[in-house]
Amino acid sequence: MRLLFAGSPRAAVPTLEALVSGPHTIDAVITRPPTPQGRKRVLTPTPVDDAASEHGLPVLHARSLTPLQDELIAHGADLGVIVAFGGLVREPLLSAPRLGWINLHFSLLPAYRGAAPVQHALIAGETQTGLSVFRLTAGLDEGDLFAQRAQPIGAHDTAGSLLERLAVEGAAVVADVVDRLAAGDIQATPQRGVPTFAPKLERADGRLTFHQPAVAVSARLRGTTPEPGAFGEFDDGTIVKVLDAVIAHDGPSLPAGSLTLDGRRALVGTADRPIELVTVQPAGKQAMNAIDWMRGLRDRDTLRFA
């Protein structure tokens, strides 16, 4: 078949690679334009852009598919494949490919429809998530399902590590669905269950509230790592990014938000068990070992996370 592929982040690259390795032809890859990155604001292509260029595939840059719809319709593709592109597919482009569009979504639909399913699943304390390949429709992640795979959530999984696993597994599932669509031996089935939603996270969603139980603090930390990033805020408004932390199951009892050094551990109190900070990044500084950071705090005994 002749395919269109739309995607931008690293999570979309394994699917593109799987399709390149298959028997089908990718007529065009649509990805977001290069954006300024780093302190020097160097224009940097998306990971999908880089991967497509390595394979010599034609690349189209757009923040939305709508401005490209006439050009994409003219390709006369058999199928469109979309993975984490970040934009809706509207008519008449939605119905233009002979077999429509399919989408790889990183949840067990109808759970966690939306832009940040992996992050919200972790924040909610789920022990299992998964991936879904479904037929794209005008509604938000509402289409019929071609395939689903469950994936356990580990106690130390972050949104980054979990998404990486799902992206690799999902690539193989998408490739299989595409092959079966070409052969005409696969049918989609309606989603079943009550939908839940996972909107895009904002910076404020990474704020750790140490007056909650340690499990909830850990869940939010892992769900917002690496993006948008977890942080603690002291009573005076000072921000400290928390890059890595674990629950200290045998730690001393501490008031919520208070800091202490316990041997080789930098601890923060919660509503029950303390959290051990492993790596932090104070405002305006590089990432550092949390023990070194805490040792350097002159007023450690009186500081409190809000």
Q: Where are the domains of the chain?
A: 2-183, 203-295
> Mean pLDDT across the chain, nearest whole number?
96
Whether the full predicted model's pTM is greater than 0.75, yes or no, is yes
Options 3.30.428.10, 3.40.50.170, 3.40.50.300, 3.40.50.280; CATH for 2-183 is 3.40.50.170
For the chain, how far is it from start to end, CA to CA, in angstroms? Answer: 56
Helices (H) and strands (E) in the chain, counts: 7, 15
CATH match of 203-295 with 3.90.850.10: no
Predicted confidence band at 87 (pLDDT cuts at 50, 70, 90)?
A: confident
Q: Provide the residue count of the chain.
A: 306
d(CA 165, CA 151): 9
User: Given this model, what pLDDT does residue 20 score?
Assistant: 98
User: Given this model, what pLDDT does residue 299 score?
Assistant: 85
Question: Strand ranges (DSSP E) for 153-285?
Answer: 231-233, 239-247, 259-262, 265-268, 275-282
User: Given this model, what pLDDT does residue 172 score?
Assistant: 98
d(CA 91, CA 103): 16
- The mean pLDDT value for 254-265 works out to 94
Q: Is the pLDDT of residue 39 over 80?
A: no
